[in-house]
Amino acid sequence: MVVHSSLLLTSLVLIGLLSHITETISHGNCEGSSRCTYVVRVRPPPNFSMDMSPMNLEDWYRSFLPPGMARSKPQSPFIHTYREAILGFAVNLTKDEAEYIKTNDGVLMVYQDNLIPLLTTHTPDFLSLRPNGGAWNTLGMGEGIIIGLLDTGIDFAHTSFDDAGMATPPAKWRGSCKFESAHCNKKLIGGKSLIGGENPEAPTDDVGHGTHTASTAAGRFVQGASVLGSGHGTAAGMAPRAHLAMYKVCNEQGCYGSDILAGMEAAIADDVDVLSISLGGRPQAFHEDILAIGTFSAMKKGIFVSCSAGNSGPLPSALSNEEPWFLTVGASTMDRQMKAIVKLGNGRTFVGESAYQPSNLASLPLMFELDDSENITGKVVACELKGSQVEIGQSIKDSGGSGLIVLGAENSGYTTFAAAHVLPASYLNSPDAAAVRQYIKTSNKPIASIIFNGTSLGTTPAPVVAYFSSRGPSTTSPGILKPDIIGPGVNVIAAWPFKVGPNRVDEHGMVFNSISGTSMSAPHLSGIAAIIKSAHHDWSPAAIKSAIMTTAYVVYDSKKPILDEKLNPAGHFTIGAGHVNPSEVINPGLVYDTDVEQYTLYLCGLGYTDSEVETITHQKGVCSKGTKLAEAELNYPSIATRASAGKLVVNRTVTNVGDAVSSYTVETDMPKEVKATVSPTKLDFTKEKESKTFTVSLSWDASKTKNAEGSFKWVSSKHVVRSPIVIF
């Protein structure tokens, strides 16, 4: 679920239903004769061919349906049919019909469809990506790479998606762009509209989320971009030379699993290189998770997947998207602030934020909350954040109010949002908000003014983890450290399909908005992955992820640790391996590679049955062969283990992707209560792509040590390859 600075999509309460056919369809209770959408996962017959024609595939899928439905030609009974993401189909069924299908020996799983929530001008510069002399000069800009996005659609006419200077799409592209209402080009090369079934309409964006994430990942250079004049600069995505394909699977209510699966199906078939997914729901067992199953198929095809960690922080164990075969991205701030200073009648001042920077608001009466019984004309209203900032402001404006102070919640710490407000406003962090509440309660005639001080760069500390960014440990696989990484996700300025602010005249094609959420951080990493893929076409998704994680930084500005929302040092369940460092990702020196077989055996080690593993991997009878892989033994660029164990001994394998002849020495950094050794202590390589295996041994007193964090690093003359260790 995305947390916008405007909070346009906040909460995404599971209301409103998608009707796939003319009869009443429910995604909730399927009692009696009412129909629900189900996804049916089937296993292939012995002589199955992936080259089966669509007509023959549909005929085979009909064989799983109850007799009355199977004879429904010529009209297809299916909403979606799949063959790339899974073998199976989405169909509307009564509960009795679903139970009938489950009795078929060829059926692996039947899932009731569910709604999954949707979870820039300065970020390139903050990440040292600069056109002249910066990392882009040596890294490239994602040329020849196709990024697919599962989202709310895209504004085809936005200037961020012009194709000036773009190369022709690669010959491998198998997608299409045949829309009457919109036109593609060499930047925006295609996509599909898949809500409630594939339809011929263009995947246009009537929400804003998809346009924003697409331009964050790969928008072209746009000079003079700003939000209502704030944050002025040159907008660019992380991979401005990469191509884009949009798969519209979400609307303002969220995204249904059957449509998400159809989006992954289309993206895999179209042969994208990177898949950016800024959505996610509650943690589920992997074999019950549509995202887990579809992304496993994408990974098998060599597609790198970047997913949002979720916006359920700062509580622990509230992650979305915990699977180890894709990158899970948390959100952090950057060093830009759009200042809106609140001055109270007692003389105290507090620096808040707003993207709308009108003339200063003179001192006016200050009141708390909207109260229908009290006249708010000409007053400043202080509100708790319960919904969209912009909508709250519009309500106050419509009622005659003159200003708005949004009060950060107690658990939100020092995170602030710069929304495109419709009236003079300021968002205050939690400590400052508490002071304003106290002032209103204790003053006989509270007053406040708002002074707008423009955009400042270089503010510190930065990066800081956003309060909403979901934290580990993982609930479904606690032995894998998640999130994997953090990246910019607060007040990100990127393309928007319609005008924002107080004067909403049409400025189609040149509108930008400032919004926040792990929905914003995930496409940053999608674009960075495209840069890596462009330089290393033969690297696997695991190798790309390793390069991102092992080059991340955990300290900044003279060795200061990255902080959390309360300005305390952030742990690895908050930042993963650290903050992405694009300057280093192309040449990490060593990578931890992982193949499909390892992931499959890891699933066996988690205790999944043969049937459940087959549901995820398409492989039959794997676990009954007796080979399993413990979580800690997965060749992952990090280590996480329970404190109650008292010890851990694991192997890791690194592959040389740096100089053919190179030597690395290990360095460990663990608290004194943990004994850590790595054997051997030195790795000597004599050729490219040579692999070496080593053993990490950890021991501690389980009765005394409950939490400990540290790392080990392989260090050469050119590289530092860092892996975090967490004992919890």
Is 624 annotated in the active site? Answer: no
Whole-number pLDDT of residue 75: 81
Average pLDDT over residues 412-441: 97
On the 0-12 / 13-18 / 19+ scale of CB atoms within 10 A, 42 is buried
Q: Is the dihedral of CA 287, 293, 295, 298 positive or negative?
A: positive
Mean pLDDT of 576-598: 97
Please name every residue paired with 112 in a beta bridge, in sequence order, or none if there are none.
Answer: 38
Q: What are the distances in angstroms from CA 573 to CA 315, 439, 469, 482?
A: 11, 36, 11, 6
Q: Which of 4, 122, 209, 572 is labelled catalytic?
A: 209
519 is catalytic: yes
Of the candidates 205, 184, 177, which has an alpha carbon nearest to the alpha carbon of residue 9?
205
Q: Which of 307, 645, 329, 298 is nearest to 478 (CA)?
A: 645
Rounded Cα–Cα distance for residues 615 and 324 (Å): 17
For residues 450-465, give the mean pLDDT.
95
The arithmetic mean of pLDDT across residues 12-41, rounded, is: 51
Tokens 């608001």 belong to: 361
Residue with tokens 């012995």: 46
Helix (H) or strand (E) holding 330: strand 327-332
Distance of CA 169 to the CA centre of its chain: 25
Distance CA 51, CA 660 (A): 41
Residue 712 pLDDT greater than 80, yes or no: yes
Would the pLDDT of 12 be above 70?
A: no
Pair of tokens at residue 406: 């949004």
Residue that the structure tokens 């109010």 belong to:
401
Task: Grade residue 509 by pLDDT with cuts at 50, 70 and 90.
Answer: low
590-594+634-727 folds as Immunoglobulin-like (2.60.40)
**pLDDT for residue 22:** 28
Q: How many residues does the chain have?
A: 728
Q: How far apart are CA 30 and CA 287, in angstroms?
A: 22
Measured distance between the N- and C-terminal CA atoms of the chain, rounded to whole angstroms: 27
Pure H helices in 163-237: 209-218
Give yes or no for residue 134 having a pLDDT over 80.
no
Residue 584 CA to residue 79 CA, distance in Å, equals 45
More confident residue, 17 or 107: 107
Average pLDDT over residues 413-435: 97
Closest CA to 332 of 213, 460, 464, 429: 464
d(CA 305, CA 545): 9
Mean pLDDT in residue range 9-35: 39
Instruction: Give me the pLDDT at residue 13, please.
Output: 23
Least confident of 175-179, 668-672, 686-690: 175-179
**Which residues neighbour 96 within 8 Å (Cβ) at sequence distance 6 or greater?**
none
Q: What percent of the chain has pLDDT over 90?
A: 83
Q: Residues 69-91: what's their mean pLDDT? A: 88
Residues 6+ positions from 610 with CB-CB distance below 8 Å:
620, 621, 622, 623, 624
For the four alpha carbons of 98, 99, 100 and 101, in that order, the dihedral sign comes to positive
> Phi-psi category of 420—alpha, beta or left, where left has phi over 0 and alpha has psi -120 to 50?
beta
Note the pLDDT tens digit of each residue in 53-78: 888 999 999 999 998 786 666 788 99
Domain borders along the chain are 36-112, 123-334+465-575, 337-456, 590-594+634-727
Tell me the two tokens of residue 719. Answer: 């590289």
* pLDDT for residue 124: 62
Identify the sign of the CA torsion 594, 482, 281, 4. negative
* pTM across the whole model: 0.93
Q: Which of 113, 125, 151, 205 is catalytic?
A: 151
What the block records as the tokens of 605 is 């080690």
- The pair of structure tokens assigned to 49 is 């061919």
| Cα atoms in the 13 Å half-sphere on the side-chain side of 381 | 25
Residue 4 has pLDDT above 80, yes or no: no
pLDDT at 8 over 60: no
- CATH architecture of the domain with range 337-456: 3-Layer(bba) Sandwich (3.50)
| pLDDT at 557 exceeding the cut of 70 | yes
**Residues of the chain by 3-state class (helix, strand, coil), percent to 5:** 20, 30, 50
pLDDT in tens, 141-180: 999 999 999 999 999 999 999 999 999 999 999 999 989 8
- Given 5, 230, 514, 519, which residue is catalytic? 519
pLDDT of residue 386: 84
What is the pLDDT, as a whole number, of residue 135?
58
How confident is the model at residue 1, as a pLDDT?
Answer: 33
Mean pLDDT, to the nearest integer, of 706-716?
A: 98
Residue 78 forms beta bridges with which residues?
A: 91
| pLDDT band (50, 70, 90) for residue 33 | low
- In terms of pLDDT, which residue wins out, 135 or 629? 629
Token code pair at residue 25: 């369809």
The maximal CA–CA distance of the chain, rounded, in angstroms, is: 82
User: What pLDDT does residue 369 have?
Assistant: 81
**Confidence label for 690 from pLDDT (cuts 50, 70 and 90):** very high
pLDDT at residue 10 is higher than 80: no
| Residues 6 or more apart in contact with residue 721 via CB below 8 angstroms | 550, 551, 588, 589, 590, 654, 664, 713, 714, 715
Hey, which bits of 596-719 come out as E strands? 639-641, 647-656, 662-669, 674-679, 682-685, 691-700, 708-715
What mean pLDDT comes out for the span 469-477?
A: 97
pLDDT for 68 equals 78
Q: Is 151 a catalytic residue?
A: yes
Quick one: pLDDT at residue 683? 98
**Average pLDDT over every residue of 373-398:** 91
Q: At what angle do helices 541-550 and 518-535 cross, to 10 degrees?
A: 110
Mean pLDDT of the chain: 91
One-letter amino acid of 356: Y
Q: What is the mean pLDDT of residues 701-712?
A: 97
Residue with the bigger pLDDT between 264 and 55: it is: 264
Q: Give the CATH architecture of domain 123-334+465-575.
A: 3-Layer(aba) Sandwich (3.40)
Question: By percentage, how much of the chain surpasses pLDDT 70?
Answer: 91
Cα separation, 107 vs 98, in Å, equals 11
Nearest to 187 by CA among 172, 165, 203, 206: 165
| Fold of the 36-112 domain | Alpha-Beta Plaits (3.30.70)
Q: Is the pLDDT of residue 437 over 90?
A: yes
What is the residue type of 484? D
d(CA 412, CA 486): 18
Rounded CA-CA distance 264/544 in Å is 20
- 541 or 125, which is more confident? 541
Which residues are CB-neighbours of 382 under 8 A, at least 6 positions away? 366, 367, 368, 369, 404, 405, 407, 436, 437, 440, 448
**What is the model's pLDDT at position 46?**
83
